[in-house]
Structures are given as C-alpha cells and as structure tokens.
Structure 1
C-alpha cells in the first residue's frame, strides 16, 4: 500500500510540475480589454478575459502556443515557457477597419459603419461539404440561426436572424444576389399553395418534398456574404427587410490579371446516424400475445382475430418472417460534386465563368437529385467614364423527392411478421407497404432558374457617379406525380403534371458621391 501511495504522489507531483495555470491581463494601450479570446492552440482549451481584462488559463504546459484574439484587433501568439503571469497589449487592426462592406445602397469601409453588418468571405464557403450555402453560415455569423430541413436532397434550410419575428408570418430574411432580390424557401412555395384551391384535384400535397431555391447557388461562386441585421442597415428594403437581409456578391475576375483555371471534384457518403431500436419478429409476437391475453381475449382466437394475418398471409408464413422495415426505407447515400471556373482580365475587361454539377442520392430510398449551374460575370470599361457590368447565372435541377410518409414514415405502421413480397412476387399489403409506396408512387420536380443583372456606371462629374441597374429573376417549376392503382383502396390510378413560371424584375437608378475630407 505504501508503494502505491508513493507512485501516486510521484505521478501527481510530476503532472503538476509540467502543467500549470497561466494568469495575465490583456490591455488596449493602458486600459483593460474584456471579452478577449485566450486559446491554447496546443490542447484546444480556452477562456475569456473578464471585465478587468484578467484571465486564468488552466493546464498549460511548456511549449504550448497561446493565442489572444478580439474582433477589430490584431491577434497575438506567444509560446509558454514557464511564466505564471503575463501582460498582453492588443493593437487595432487597420486592415479589418478598412475592409469594404457591401450595403443596400453601395459600399462602405468598416470603421465608417454605424449599422450592424456581419461579413463572411467566400473563401470560408468554397468547397464546404453542405448542400447549400446557408448551411455553411452555421457558426460563422453572430445572431444567425441555421436549421436544416431534413436529410432529403435539396431540402430547404431555415435561416433566422436575431430570432423569429413572427409566429404566423414568413420569418425568412430577404436574399439579394448581385443586386437582384431572389425568392427563398421552396420552388413550390414560390409558385402556388399546395393546400389551396389551385392545387390539382386528387394530388397529395406533401410538405417535405419541395426543393430549396437557394440550393442552386454555387458556394464556390460567392465572393462575400453580408448579413444586415438592424433597422438602419435594412431600411432601404422597406418591410421586405424586416427579418434581416442577406447580400450575396459573386466573384469577378481581375483587371490585367492572369487567367486562372480551377477544378474541384468531391465525393462523399452519408448514413443515418441513429435508427430506432425496433423489436424483431419473436419479440413482437411475444408482446402481441401478452397484450391479447391481458385484454381478456380467448388465446385460441389470437391468430384468427388479432389482425396480424392480412392480405392472405398464413400463420406458417408469418412465423418465417423477420422484416426490418426501417431498412426498406433507408440506405447509404452518396454525392458527386464537380466545379470548374475560369477568371482573368485585360486592361479594360475582367471576367469570371463557372460550371457546377452535383449528383446526389440521399439516405432515403428513391430520393435522387441532380443540379447543373453556370455563371458568367463580366465587367468592361468602355472608356474612363463609362463602365458596363453583367452578372448572370442559370440553374437546372432534377429532383425526385420521397415523402417521408411513404418510406420511413410507413415503416412505423408495419410489423416484422409481415413480408415485403408475397410468394408470387407481388407486393404484400401494398396500401401500407413502404417498399410498394416507394416504387409505385413517383414524384419529380424539374426546376429552372435564371438570375441576371445589367448595370451601367457613368462618372459625369468628378466624385459623382450615375448608376442605372436592371435585374431579372425567372423561376420555372414543373411537378410530376404518378400513383399506381395498387396503392389506392378503390384501385384508382392517379397522374398529375403541373408547370408554373414566375418572374420578377427590378430597375433602379442611383447617384453616388464619394469624397475624402481631411486625413
């Protein structure tokens, strides 16, 4: 026992000799700076300075790299060499304060902004393994909450800026791409109400099969995203900006720049992280018989009157089955993504062009998604006073969604004693069979969208610029649905095709005056 205590004492003393607490103060000039991030980059642990600028960082070892960072200030790094108390002075970052932010009426440098705007550089979004750019904003913008819709390919993402402003009204922010206001949510949501009178008779309106309009925006094409949060920043958009505004600026080439070609290819797989722990056939039969007996029913009548023997199933056949119905609706998904871009420029012209292709099969059996997107951005200086700009993109989406009610949803209504197919190869109980509903109920969404922006900028007097801008947004939605008669109690087969086109345009004229007074 004495030897064990001695070994423990030696290990404890040795641990404390190499791992200590670091105390210190962070200052700006001679004043304390609260809220500074103090991170041990070696072990990942961190803390914040308090109101007096003081901090305590625990479990610091010799040679650990410590970083001090705060928004608007230059970060500092030190290497721990045994000191127990330090003082760190942070300097304001002139680079961040001079960073240009896009606003609704032009652009300003950060230090001149009086409204609340957050910016995310496109480099953080490029090659991010998410189906749409909204998902890549998660955790990168303060006050912005991102919620994924479902595991369905192309499903909508819910974005909330500073919480939800209304329980019943639309709480989505306004999206503006290169000066063009674009719709958010799903294609169906922006073309017609699936619960309204204009929905085709006989069609079943599922709320989880719509395609996200914004998923057609290629994250690799984005130069920056500005999130306008408060009333002063969104005022130019009126009531449409009540829930915040997200401004998206796409990439451009460089004047007198080299021609740059980029190619990216990604492949990924996806699986359900957790499945329900369902009973097997033996466990279900035991529980079903126990419930039957406890209800006062005659044990002899269990197989004939309990409702287990459906659609011609016999007791002998039922006892040979052990179907996991979850596996009938789930699978291992995959995605293939390709992105090609070319950019460059000459003395008076710059350009950026890209092509993006995404092929995806989600974890839901039958859900397939394909999108093709192209973009062309062109700026040309006609002369020293006049400049022409063109930003355009076209996207085509072919989505075959699977209502969860038909697949994994129906699996909860089935029992493991039931087979997927009968002995003759036909579907067992097709009205409730998840496999039958997945294979005999087809959904297809064909969506096309075009976004174009044409502008002329003319400097008619020194420091004065006249800008005329025309934006156009076109969305085409074609929905197809087919339901086999085997799935309907009356044997009725149903087919539906609906096509809706929707367009919107904006035209604005601005006069900008830019000048610098003093130093």
Structure 2
C-alpha cells in the first residue's frame, strides 16, 4: 500500500463574500490537476476528502477572483472571495442599450471573442455552442446546416421556440422555413465579423422586444473600426471524412443469407460488391477566406471597418455544397465630444446552396450485390430494377447514387441588411438620451430543381412516359 494513502486528509471550511460577509453557495473547490472536487452548500460550507500534503486547492466562482491555497495539513480552511471587478465592469448589450454586468437585474450572458469556440466555424451560432448555461444548440447535418437554438428549453408545443436574433440593434426576419433557399437565418452572416454575443434569457431582460422575445433574445454585436489602421487576413482549409457507417451486410454476407434462407431468389442477385454508403459519401473539402481593414478616417472622427469573406464548403453527402460571399461596411462617427454617436452598418451577402436529397435509407437497404452502373440500363447507365417491359419497377428502392447525381436543387440567395443608429446624449442632462434606429432586412431567392429526363425517379414506369 503506498505511503501517500496514509497522508490523505479531509479539509473543511466556509467560503464567504468579502463585500458582504455572507456565505457563498455553489463555489467550486478542486484539487489542482485532478478531478477530485467539491462545492459549497447553501451555508457556504464545504468538505473535500483525499487531499495530500503539497496539493493545491483552487476555489472559484463566477464573478469572483479565484484563489489557490497550498495544503500543508490544515484541517480547516476558510476562504474570503473578492469580487472580480474586471468581469463586473464588462459592458453588456441589452435591449435598452448597454450596461455593466454588476448593474444587471435580469439573466444575461456575455460571450466575447476570447470565449469563442475555435476551429472551422461556418455559422455564428457555432462560435458559442456549449459556452452558455441554459442554451442548447443542435446543428443539423450538411454544410452550414440549420441549428435548433433553445434558451432554457421550449415553451410551446405548437408555436415556434426559436429565440429572436438581433444584429447591431436590427431584429432579423426569420421565415422559419427553408423555402427561402437559405440554410438558416444565420447562414448568411460571416462569423469573422462578430465581436460578441449577449444572450437575454428571462422576461425582464427581453421585455423591450415584446412577444418576439418570449423565447429569449440573442444580440450579436459586430466588429467596428479602430483608431489605428489594422489589416487582417484569415484563411483556412479543412477536410472532413466519414467516421462511422451503419453496420449492414456486405455483398458476400448478403449472398450467404439469401442462399440459406431464400434459395429460390439467388438468381436475382448480382455479381458486384458494392458498399452503397461509400458510394453516396465523399471527403468534404472546405475553404474560408476573410479580409478586413479597419481604421479611422478624418482623424479620429470617423472609425470605419470594411470586410469581405468567401466560404466554399462541400457536404459529406455527394453533390451537397454551400457557397457564401459576404461584404460589410461599418462607420461609427462620434461628434460633439461623444454626445452624438452614429453607427452605420451595411451588409450585402450572397449564398448559393445545392441541396442533396436524403438517400441514406435507400443506401442502407439497397442490394450490395448490384453495381452502381449498368451499361444496359436506359437510365443514363445507372442500375435500376426493371420489369419485363424494360421500365423501372414500382415500389422498390431506387439507386441512391443516381438520385444524387441526376437531381439538382439549387438556391441562390441575395440578402442585404443594415441599420443606422443615432444615439444623442443631452448636454444639459447627460442621464437622458434620445435614440433613433432605422433598419432594413431584405432577402431575394431564386430556387429551382432539375431532374434528368432519364432518371427513374422522374419516369412513370407503369405508363412508360414522363
């Protein structure tokens, strides 16, 4: 038995607030570098076991400065936590304007660029996925897939549970369907242009938005011009591969199964060895390029920022593709000794989508002994089950590869949105401000679907015509 076993001790104590002297419930206590930890109860008391001499106890709580205490055999350690002034002074954007964290009465979360998720984040919501308590984000498959965002769960069985999205004070129009051709309400926005997110979770924080904010509000603040000239170029390329597949019979296993159970149908089997899941998927390449220039014009009077971005993403499912071109301009003049603040934001974005039909079901059940291509097939050389007349049979699976390659669902979206905000602080009464915000959000879509005239899915097999 190791000697360290005998040196393990139990530490108890109380954690209080330096400002009020009151106990703090929910403080995290952990032995540094291990998973051994505990939390304080409602009275601020804690107890943690298996602590060795030389270990360091870390006490942490949101809004307070963490403390690290070396353990040298103390049986009791009482901690007094100091408020984290830097965090409490953070400026949070809310419906009525901005305020400091320490002045908030509602439930609001602020996520800045330092807290964003890193990696290949194509849509804005993925920057904060898993970063905010009470907020769940479930992203669908496909490039730039639509995300289901829920703040503190859903409140309705029939109505929408989606939160209101506000960009620089402009509430975005969400059609809540894909008929507009866009992948999602956020897919046209470049994540590289975003400075911070404010998530308003409760009724008091979102009250200014009325019933539109009933499911919470996500306020997105974009980047603005700086006093000094800054040029930023960001470029990345990624490759995504399929990591797992549905376990189905291989061609040889399927032949053995048919021979053992349906010997009268062996003659219907083919001679190929096809993995239909491999045939419908591909390695997905993506590239993102962003260029931004910010600085100040006319001295320090007119901070400005201009950015352009380009994203090209392939989906794992063949033919699925997402292309986006974004451009934005931000002008933020400050006049009359900062008493008049003007913010001009303009965005013009283009999105092109090719939607691939869902063929996973057909790929899973399709006969693995049949080939993808059949030179004798009248359907552009793709294998299909034929009847005695040479037409495709009804009520049988269709070739999933043919469905992908013989169908084109294209949507081109042009979206422009922006706003002009005037914020005037009265000289004779600085606590009184007049705010005027004018905005526009417009989207135009051209969407069409093409299907080959020689496709089995577009051919009436029983009548022999289209």
- Partner Cα distance (1:169, 1:455) in 2: 32
Residue in structure 1 matched with residue 360 of structure 2 by the alignment: 408
Residue in structure 2 matched with residue 428 of structure 1 by the alignment: 383
Query: Which one of the candidate residues 185, 188, 203 is aligned to 1:213?
Result: 185
- Size of the aligned set, in residue pairs, is 441
For the 8 Å contact 2:182–2:351, the answer to whether it is kept is: no
Query: Which one of the candidate residues 205, 223, 238 is aligned to 1:268?
Result: 238
**Post-superposition offset of 1:445:** 1.6
Residue in structure 1 matched with residue 330 of structure 2 by the alignment: 377
- Partner Cα distance (2:36, 2:82) in 1: 24
- Partner Cα distance (2:72, 2:415) in 1: 59
Residue in structure 2 matched with residue 26 of structure 1 by the alignment: 15
Residue in structure 1 matched with residue 88 of structure 2 by the alignment: 97
TM-score (ref. length: structure 2):
0.86
Residue in structure 2 matched with residue 513 of structure 1 by the alignment: none
- Partner Cα distance (2:33, 2:124) in 1: 31
The reply on whether 1:240 has 2:206 as its aligned counterpart is no
For the 8 Å contact 2:4–2:52, the answer to whether it is kept is: no
- Partner Cα distance (1:88, 1:165) in 2: 40
**Post-superposition offset of 1:454:** 1.0
For the 8 Å contact 1:101–1:110, the answer to whether it is kept is: yes
**Post-superposition offset of 1:402:** 0.8
- The SS at the match of 1:475 is strand
**Post-superposition offset of 1:472:** 0.6
Q: Deviations over 1:353-375 (max 9, x none)?
A: 22222111121111121111122
**Post-superposition offset of 1:171:** 1.0
Q: Deviations over 1:291-328 (max 9, x none)?
A: 43xxxxxx5x4346xxxx3xxxxx5xx1x322111111
Q: Deviations over 1:264-313 (max 9, x none)?
A: 22222223332111111222123234443xxxxxx5x4346xxxx3xxxx
**Post-superposition offset of 1:215:** 1.9
1:165–1:75 Cα change, 3 Å: same
For the 8 Å contact 2:459–2:465, the answer to whether it is kept is: no
The reply on whether 1:125 has 2:116 as its aligned counterpart is yes
**Post-superposition offset of 1:383:** 3.7
The reply on whether 1:325 has 2:276 as its aligned counterpart is yes
The reply on whether 1:141 has 2:144 as its aligned counterpart is no
Residue in structure 1 matched with residue 417 of structure 2 by the alignment: 451
- Partner Cα distance (1:131, 1:81) in 2: 49
**Post-superposition offset of 1:58:** 5.0
- Partner Cα distance (1:267, 1:58) in 2: 48
Query: Which one of the candidate residues 255, 278, 283 is aligned to 2:248?
Result: 278
For the 8 Å contact 1:187–1:447, the answer to whether it is kept is: no
1:66–1:447 Cα change, 3 Å: farther
1:392–1:123 Cα change, 3 Å: farther
- Partner Cα distance (2:343, 2:304) in 1: 10
Alignment of 1:10-49 (within 5 A): 12-16=1-5, 22-29=11-18, 30-49=21-40
**Post-superposition offset of 1:470:** 0.7
- Partner Cα distance (2:285, 2:73) in 1: 50
- The SS at the match of 1:231 is coil
The reply on whether 1:417 has 2:391 as its aligned counterpart is no
Residue in structure 2 matched with residue 113 of structure 1 by the alignment: 104
1:342–1:249 Cα change, 3 Å: same
- The SS at the match of 1:336 is strand
Larger deviation, residues 351-360 vs 235-244: 351-360
- The SS at the match of 1:86 is coil
- Partner Cα distance (1:127, 1:493) in 2: 53
Residue in structure 1 matched with residue 294 of structure 2 by the alignment: 343
Query: Which one of the candidate residues 180, 183, 194 is aligned to 1:222?
Result: 194
Query: Which one of the candidate residues 130, 142, 150 is aligned to 1:152?
Result: 142
**Post-superposition offset of 1:482:** 0.6
Residue in structure 2 matched with residue 288 of structure 1 by the alignment: 258
Residue in structure 2 matched with residue 7 of structure 1 by the alignment: none
**Post-superposition offset of 1:382:** 4.3
Larger deviation, residues 35-44 vs 372-381: 35-44
Residue in structure 1 matched with residue 309 of structure 2 by the alignment: 356
The reply on whether 1:180 has 2:148 as its aligned counterpart is no
